[in-house]
């Protein structure tokens, strides 16, 4: 089960899943993997909540089990 994590740890986990970035664009930063694009929150907001992590994982079809095993 995901727990609150820092922005830096979020980026590290997505990089471990072979995402590139983060890149700036529009209102949010994003990371890409092939044609898949995931928006990530601003690094200035503090830790990222479990609810937001779950929503991001759902959008990019990453299981919680895979996320926890990175």
- Gyration radius (Cα) of the chain, Å: 11
Which residue stretches of the chain are H helix? 7-16, 50-59, 64-68
Residue range 7-68, CATH number: 3.30.920
**Residue 37: left (phi > 0), alpha (psi -120 to 50), or beta?**
beta
The DSSP letter of residue 47 is S
pLDDT at 43: 82
The pTM for the full model equals: 0.86
pLDDT at 2: 59
pLDDT, tens only, 3-58: 789 999 999 999 999 999 999 977 889 999 999 999 998 888 788 998 999 999 99
Question: 48: how many CB neighbours lie within 10 A of its CB?
Answer: 21
CB-facing half-sphere around the CA of 11: CA atoms within 13 A: 14
């Amino acid at each position: 089960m995901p727990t609150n994590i820092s922005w830096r740890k979020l980026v590290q986990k997505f990089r471990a899943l072979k995402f590139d970035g983060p890149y700036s664009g529009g209102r949010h930063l994003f990371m890409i993997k092939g044609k898949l694009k995931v928006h990530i929150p601003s690094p200035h907001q503090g830790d990222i909540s479990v609810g937001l992590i779950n929503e991001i994982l759902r959008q990019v079809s990453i299981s919680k089990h895979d996320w926890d095993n990175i």
